[in-house]
Amino acid sequence: MRTERYTDQHAPRPVATVPASTLRHAVEQSSGAIVITDLDGNIEYANPAFSRLTGYALEEVVGQHTRMFASGTHPRAFYKDLWDTILSGREWNGEVLNRKKDGTLYWEALSISPVIENRQLVHFVATKEDSTERRLLVDALEAAKREQEKISAMKDAFLATISHEIRTPLNVILGFSSLLEQVYGQGMAADDRSYFEGMRQAGDRLLRTMDLLVNISAIISGNYAPCIEEYDVVTGLESLVDQFSQAAHEKRLALEYQPLRHAIHVRLDRYAFEQSMQHLIDNAIKFTRDGRVSVSVHDGPGAVCIEVVDTGEGMSEDFLSHAFVPFSQEDSGITRRHEGLGVGLSLTKRYIEANKGTLSVESEKGRGTRFRVHFPVIS
């Protein structure tokens, strides 16, 4: 395991500026283990810190080869790279799993430097430090990361399977219930026909739940890839607000849209934007018993600001601090008044931020809520 040894043809001869006795005491009193070997790896000197680290006395190791500490876990290629490096006159740095005198395995941070005299490579000096605790921590973190990735992959596969297994029969149920309503609904009493509406609402709710779970899983795991395009915010919001006019009318709420007189173009993922704004408007209507819901667009320097304001229940100061945490709900438990998983706001914020936007909220319990969304405009 030898290559051509390094000969320094150009380096100037070093000039000693510290007395030899001072250097000797510095090495002996160093808290770091220091070992000096010949060019074959035979130990010529080791300081007291080395003895404390390995358990070997100096007289037990002098004349012995450094392989006496090998744990047997590193491949031959590992040591070949080490020797090729130092015999070429370069410094080698790395971590090595070695064995102490009592047989204990430990990791050491090892640095081996060449010693050059009269332009010739004559010795190697190694400094060692016990890095076992740090290495065990790194290994534990890596193992935890691998386990997390495994769990994440299992979760994604589970959600994909559940989504398919629920969507397919649910679409069949909704399709046949719609067909039954068309065939038999006209001859039914009004109260009986309302059963079809109940089935449709329950089915839509379940489909929305699956969409939310799949979407939040995709964006948290990093699998969300936005499809960026140019989008007119003013026209897009007008269409979105129209979709909620019936829901607001049924609750006798005033749903207002205050657009600008001109188009505002941004670059973003249309699906993510529309999902986000739909959730904010839907939430405003859902949590407002009476009063109004207002959607407005403001043109600012380099950005467009969208506000969704309601006169509804509002949020407490304590809940505001974690309103965007997945599965957070101020009104929770089986007695809660509103449906939902508590992932909508978290998904909305992540969608907006993934499209270079920002989302902020102001709210007061019993006084309503104001959401502000900012997106950079196309210059």
- pTM of the predicted model, to two decimals? 0.50
**Quick check: 121 pLDDT over 90?**
yes
Residues in the chain: 379
Residue 130 CB neighbour total at 10 angstroms: 18
Q: What band does 3 get if pLDDT is binned at 50, 70 and 90?
A: low
Per-residue pLDDT tens for 161-179?
Answer: 777 777 788 888 888 888 8
Token pair, residue 128, equals 């060692």
Q: Count the helix, strand and coil residues of the chain and give each as a percent rounded to the nearest 5.
A: 45, 25, 30
CA pair distance 101, 108, nearest whole angstrom:
15
What's the pLDDT at 334? 42
Contact 128, 33 (CB under 8 A): yes
- Of residues 275 and 334, more confidence is placed in 275
Residue 143 half-sphere exposure, CB side, CA atoms within 13 Å?
A: 6
Per-residue pLDDT tens for 354-378?
Answer: 888 999 999 888 889 999 999 998 7
Token pair, residue 201, equals 């609402």
**Quick check: 11 pLDDT over 60?**
no
CA pair distance 343, 142, nearest whole angstrom:
29
Tell me which residue of 193, 176, 157, 33 sits closest to 106, measured CA to CA. 33
